[in-house]
Amino acid sequence: MALESLDRSPPPFFRVGFAPLTKLIFFGALSVVLMFGDKQLQFTKPIRAGLATLVLPVQWLVLQPGQAFSTLGQYFESLDKAQKNVQRTQSQALQQSLRAQQVEQLQLENQNLRQLMGLQSTVATPSQVAEILFDVPDPYNQRIVIDKGQLKEIALGSPVIDAGGVVGQVTRIYPLSAEVTLLTDRDQNIPVLNSRTGARNIASGDILAGIPQIELKFVPASADVKEGDLLTTSGIDGVYPPGLQVARISHIERRVDISFARIHATPLADMKGRHVLVLQPTGHKLPVKGKTP
């Protein structure tokens, strides 16, 4: 085969085509035409709308992980804020409840003090207001400790009352405090008068069904005593002024085989109060009734 018959043209892969400058000028002109046409005629708007519609699901899928993390972060942030708000609200509610209880307690104490001051002005016996410090921790005796003693001229055997009635009697004295044996103590006795019948009796502390009360001693079963009768101090002991309210008859038990009736009365004084009124005994030279130190 002759050499002249061979095809010396380059293969298609190596063909250069138009010159680069020609291509630049052509595509630059085409770009200008397309931009001008899109600006004036907007013929590419449907194409962009179609492409945007096709790409929208892909964009939505790509954005979901970021939105999920953002939503999760907002959830935990909101949860933390909600927990803090709940704690703050609970703390404020507890503070308000505490303040309300303190205000209520102060109102009760203020009312009690007003009643004691009014009672002090009506009682002819010299007296002074004292505050109850604490209860004596003795399961066999019922006593309280007040904040006044020898330095405040508290006398041994002084009656202690409140706005309701007789609380007890001073049985031990210290320089700055004193012990008061309550009316419901088993060893505490007080002469009382039935305001309805005028009968005099001796009452002593007792417990009925676990409730501290007082019991009238040596009352005949046929005596004229009714539930609801008011018992007051008779004043014959020289310690308690006459006419102070003591208790009200709450339970009467009469049996044919026993010559004496069992009569219990509920004290009218508030044994759990905060303030009391300490009276001077009506007769210092007479022996003190009740428990002695």
DSSP secondary structure of 132-146: EEEE---TT--EEEE
Give me the pLDDT at residue 17, please.
66
Between residues 151 and 49, the one the model is more confident about: 151
Determine which helix (DSSP H) or strand (DSSP E) holds 249, and give its type and residue range. strand 245-253
Question: Measured between alpha carbons, how far is 37 from 65 in angstroms, rounded to an integer?
Answer: 40
Question: Measured between alpha carbons, how far is 262 from 221 in angstroms, rounded to an integer?
Answer: 8
Supply angle C-alpha 161, 165, 169, rounded to 5.
Answer: 40
Count helices and strands (H / E) in the chain: 2, 12
The answer to whether residue 266 scores a pLDDT higher than 90 is: yes
Q: For residue 78, what are its two tokens?
A: 């909101």
Q: What would you measure as the largest C-alpha separation in the chain, in angstroms?
A: 166
The answer to whether residue 292 scores a pLDDT higher than 60 is: no
Read off the pTM: 0.58
Give me the pLDDT at residue 79, please.
85
Give me the pLDDT at residue 286, please.
41
For 125-152, what is the mean pLDDT?
Answer: 87
Reply yes or no on domain 127-279 having CATH 3.30.70.2750.
no
Helix/strand/coil (H, E, C) string of 185-239?
CCCCEEEEEECCCCCEEEEEEEEECCEEEEEEEEEECCCCCCCCCEEEECCCCCC
Q: For residue 69, what are its two tokens?
A: 């993390």
Give me the pLDDT at residue 293, please.
37
For 231-240, what is the mean pLDDT?
Answer: 87
130 vs 147, 159, 180, 254, 278, CA distance in Å?
6, 12, 11, 41, 7
Kindly report the length of the chain: 293
For 248-261, what is the mean pLDDT?
Answer: 87
Question: Measured between alpha carbons, how far is 176 from 234 in angstroms, rounded to an integer?
Answer: 31
* Residue-range domain boundaries for the chain: 19-97, 127-279
Instruction: Read off the pLDDT of residues 71-130 as tens digits, 9 standing for 90 and up.
Output: 888 888 888 888 888 888 877 777 776 666 656 656 666 666 666 666 666 666 788 889
Question: Measured between alpha carbons, how far is 113 from 116 in angstroms, rounded to an integer?
Answer: 5
Question: Measured between alpha carbons, how far is 169 from 159 in angstroms, rounded to an integer?
Answer: 5
φ, ψ of residue 136 to 5 degrees: the values are: -70, 125
- Across the chain, mean pLDDT equals 81
The answer to whether residue 46 scores a pLDDT higher than 90 is: no
Question: Residue type at 221?
Answer: A
Give me the pLDDT at residue 111, please.
67
